[in-house]
Amino acid sequence: MPTVNFQCGSCNNLMGVSSEFLGQQVRCPHCQAVVVAPAASAPPPSPTEPVEFFPSLGNQQDDIFAPPEPTDDLFGAAEAPRVELPPLPQEPALALNGEANTASPFGSTAAYTAPESAPSPSTATGAVPSWMDAAPSPAAPSITTEPAEEDTIPHLIRRPRDGGGWFVGLVVVPLISYALLATVAVVVLWYRIQQAPAPSNPLDNLPSFDPNDDQHSTHLQPSQRMFRSRDMDVKRATSPLLPERITRLGDKLQVGDLEITPLKVDREIVSVISKGSQAEPCSAPSLVLHLKLRNISSNVVFQPMDTYFDRKWLSKADQPPLTLLELLDPAHTLRFFGGPAEYHLLALRGAGNAKPPEEVVGVHASRVLRPGDEMDTFVCTDGDDKSVVDAVENYHGKLLWRVHLRRGIITVDAHQVVPVSSVVGVEFTDDDYRKNS
């Protein structure tokens, strides 16, 4: 059967089809695309013999698609190559109504109706069209579906929300507002704490007046309600000092209007005297701290020392004196309060049979310093207390002497002037008093 060669419209490769497939859809053996073969063309009318468009190729096979013709050759001839079109793949059918179809695994399918073969141009009109003419358009596929049953398909109904606005308004919004307010409050509190001044040390601003002296040794009347020392106990009396209130031997320390210079530490026999009696020396050497005090103010007069500051601690029920010696033993700190002179409160108040107050000779506790004045004084331990004498003699290490002194005046509430006192510390070692003894 004669064949017709033409170019594939998809890959432009040459392909051939039998004349019986002209004008129909064929599959390209190269790219497997489905193309429309050109329409058959009728040979031109000739009085003698028909024109052969494709001359015979001799013994070669005429049709590359047709099977070989039978031959009388005993051994047979080599089979000529021929082109076979692969079968069209089965396209999956479309399920339209979701019902199961026993003939197809994909359910209901749409039947595809192939386009009808175009009538041969030679038989319809008698004209011989060119094979280059445009191929007839394939008929639109007809889709047959089963009638849809809307009653069998349940409609999805969206459930309306049950108004969650009340939860947001009553719970979420108040919680967010509370969190914001709490955050702001914490930030403000932290800022105020950072800006607030550090709490003052309980031993830095103390009453400077003598409980029995109406003039308070400074000729100024302080407000007793501003400064109270009634709650002074051992724990508060031995609380840590401010670092800037501690000095060493030979170094100057300024506290308010008072300049303090610790000179030396040694062991001496000191004497105690009372009004109307002879001085009585202590039975054993006392540890003595020598000081130089100077009034550096321009218009303040005050009394730095006082026998009340360095009094002998007679009863543990009374408030302890704030002048004391500490032996800073790493295992156990030993403390010895006051000095050898007794302070008799009742004698100053006019009791007839009370003992007169005592004073250590050379301390000059009642001396008043004017601006620019200075004085030499000292504080000491009780030479009559054997426990203090033995502890000082046998101790090796660091010591701290806390000394209670008046420091001048301060201004309270921008209008009230109040005399005050402070406790300062002097650091030294046992070598400092052993080399001077």
Q: What is the pLDDT of residues 136-173, one digit of tens each?
A: 555 444 444 454 444 555 554 555 555 557 777 778 88
For residues 30-45, average pLDDT: 74
Query: In terms of domains, do 281 and 421 share one?
Result: yes
- 167 part of a folded domain: no
- 169 part of a folded domain: no
pLDDT of residue 344: 76
CB 341 within 8 A of CB 359: yes
Distance CA 117, CA 124 (A): 13
Tokens 């105690």 correspond to 272
Say if residue 92's pLDDT is above 70.
Answer: no
Distance CA 237, CA 216 (A): 21
Residues linked to residue 104 through DSSP beta bridges, in sequence order: 101
Query: In terms of domains, do 304 and 412 share one?
Result: yes
- Residue 297 belongs to what domain range? 206-434
Residues of the chain with pLDDT > 90, as a percent, come to 33
Name the least confident of 109-123, 187-201, 327-341: 109-123
- 186 part of a folded domain: no
- 189 part of a folded domain: no
Distance CA 42, CA 128 (A): 5
Distance CA 309, CA 292 (A): 17
Query: In terms of domains, do 122 and 260 share one?
Result: no
Query: In terms of domains, do 131 and 216 share one?
Result: no
Query: In terms of domains, do 139 and 213 share one?
Result: no
- 227 part of a folded domain: yes
Distance CA 320, CA 69 (A): 140
- Tokens matching residue 75: 């051994």
pLDDT of residue 415: 62
For residues 206-231, average pLDDT: 52
- 196 part of a folded domain: no
Task: Flag whether the pTM goes above 0.75.
Answer: no
Total domain count for the chain? Answer: 2
Say if residue 240's pLDDT is above 90.
Answer: yes
- Tokens matching residue 385: 């207390």
Query: In terms of domains, do 142 and 211 share one?
Result: no
25 phi, psi to nearest 5 deg: -80, 130
Pick from 130, 147, 164: which residue ends a domain?
147
- 79 part of a folded domain: yes
pLDDT tens-place string over residues 392-416: 999 999 999 999 999 988 877 666 6
- 328 part of a folded domain: yes
- Tokens matching residue 58: 């001799």
Query: In terms of domains, do 16 and 143 share one?
Result: yes
Look at strands 324-327 and 334-337 and give their pairing. Answer: antiparallel
Burial of 21 (0-12, 13-18, 19+ CB in 10 A): middle
CB 248 within 8 A of CB 432: no
Query: In terms of domains, do 139 and 216 share one?
Result: no
Say if residue 424's pLDDT is above 90.
Answer: yes
Query: In terms of domains, do 215 and 78 share one?
Result: no
For residues 207-229, average pLDDT: 50
Look at strands 286-295 and 374-380 and give their pairing. Answer: antiparallel
Query: In terms of domains, do 235 and 114 share one?
Result: no
82 vs 418: which has the higher pLDDT: 418
CA-nearest of 303, 307, 309, 318 to 407 is 303
CA-nearest of 300, 297, 321, 323 to 218 is 300
Distance CA 289, CA 305 (A): 14
For residues 277-301, average pLDDT: 94
Query: In terms of domains, do 139 and 267 share one?
Result: no
Query: In terms of domains, do 135 and 275 share one?
Result: no
